[in-house]
């Protein structure tokens, strides 16, 4: 059975990365596609594990060679999902998460209509503001800009198939898990089994 593809987007500060890393820790059959980016690695980030860190000319060469299934500029840096990264995972039959922004989500909707999209929302804008303040000692104007960007990301939520509010981490992780696992039970995802079942019953008849 081929793995399903899930696009997960959220406004920054919603806790999306924490949620997804918990999910990956607890479920070996759920994996995340490693994106390419031109942003500099943060402390503790490893090339090939968190991102494939590449130069701007390298990224632009990959765009020209149509190596990305989607790409976008976020906060002044390029980010993209290479077709190769994605296919190497789906071929293994694992469920694949694309942790990408809403611009990328829009491209995936067009390119891969079979993918499912999930938007993670904060419980309120006040909570988001608190989280953004706690997370980094950013200047007030940087926080204000991030909040404005968060608002415009949240406006995109209507385009997603599923919405999960990240109020309680455990509850939100469970909700994500249910959404991901339930796709495995879709009848069209089990077509080979139905064929096998019928083939078996005619042999025995």
- What CA–CA distance (Å, rounded) separates 109 from 197? 33
80 lies in the binding site for ligand 5GP (CB under 6 A)? yes
CB of 150 to ligand 5GP, least distance (A): 10
70 lies in the binding site for ligand 5GP (CB under 6 A)? yes
Report the phi/psi class of residue 76: left, alpha or beta, with left for phi > 0 and alpha for psi in -120 to 50: left
172 lies in the binding site for ligand 5GP (CB under 6 A)? no
Q: How far is CA 25 from CA 18, 30, 63, 145, in A?
A: 11, 9, 32, 33
173 lies in the binding site for ligand 5GP (CB under 6 A)? no
- Indicate the residue among 53 and 177 with the shorter CB distance to ligand 5GP: 53
Other C-beta atoms lying within 10 Å of the C-beta of residue 193? 11
122 lies in the binding site for ligand 5GP (CB under 6 A)? no
166 lies in the binding site for ligand 5GP (CB under 6 A)? no
- Indicate the residue among 99 and 173 with the shorter CB distance to ligand 5GP: 99
Bridge-based pairing of strands 162-165 and 68-74 is unpaired
**Total residues binding ligand 5GP (CB under 6 A):** 14
Q: Which of 153, 175, 157, 154 is nearest to 166 (CA)?
A: 175
Q: How far is CA 104 from CA 35, 72, 79, 135, 156, in A?
A: 11, 6, 9, 25, 12
CB of 202 to ligand 5GP, least distance (A): 47
Residue with nearest beta carbon to ligand 5GP: 104
Binding map of ligand 5GP across residues 21-60, x = CB under 6 A, - = no contact: --------------x---x---------------------
Q: Which residue has the tokens 């991102």?
A: 51
Out of 89, 104, 173, 176, name the contact with ligand 5GP by CB under 6 A: 104
Out of 4, 14, 81, 117, name the contact with ligand 5GP by CB under 6 A: 81
Q: Which residues pair with 47 in a beta bridge?
A: 51
Tell me the backbone φ, ψ of residue 133, rounded to 5 degrees.
-70, -40
Which residue positions form the known binding site? 10-17
Which residues make up the interface to ligand 5GP (CB under 6 A)? 12, 35, 39, 70, 72, 74, 79-81, 99-101, 103-104
């Amino acid at each position: 059975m081929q793995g399903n593809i899930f696009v997960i987007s959220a406004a920054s500060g919603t806790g999306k990365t924490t949620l997804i890393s918990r999910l990956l820790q607890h479920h070996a059959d759920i994996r995340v596609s490693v994106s390419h980016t031109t942003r500099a690695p943060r402390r503790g980030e490893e090339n090939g594990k968190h991102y494939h860190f590449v130069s701007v000319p390298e990224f632009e060469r990959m765009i020209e060679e149509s190596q990305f299934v989607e790409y976008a500029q976020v906060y002044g840096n390029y980010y993209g999902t290479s077709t190769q990264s994605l296919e190497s995972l789906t071929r293994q039959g694992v469920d694949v998460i694309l942790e990408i922004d809403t611009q990328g989500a829009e491209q995936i909707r067009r390119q891969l209509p079979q993918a499912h999209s999930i938007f993670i929302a904060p419980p309120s804008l006040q909570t988001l503001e608190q989280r953004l303040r706690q997370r980094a000692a950013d200047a007030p104007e940087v926080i204000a800009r991030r909040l404005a960007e968060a608002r415009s990301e949240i406006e995109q939520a209507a385009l997603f198939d599923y919405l999960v509010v990240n109020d309680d981490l455990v509850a939100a992780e469970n909700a994500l898990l249910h959404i991901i696992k339930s796709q495995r039970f879709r009848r069209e995802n089990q077509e080979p089994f139905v064929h096998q079942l019928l083939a078996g019953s005619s042999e025995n008849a």
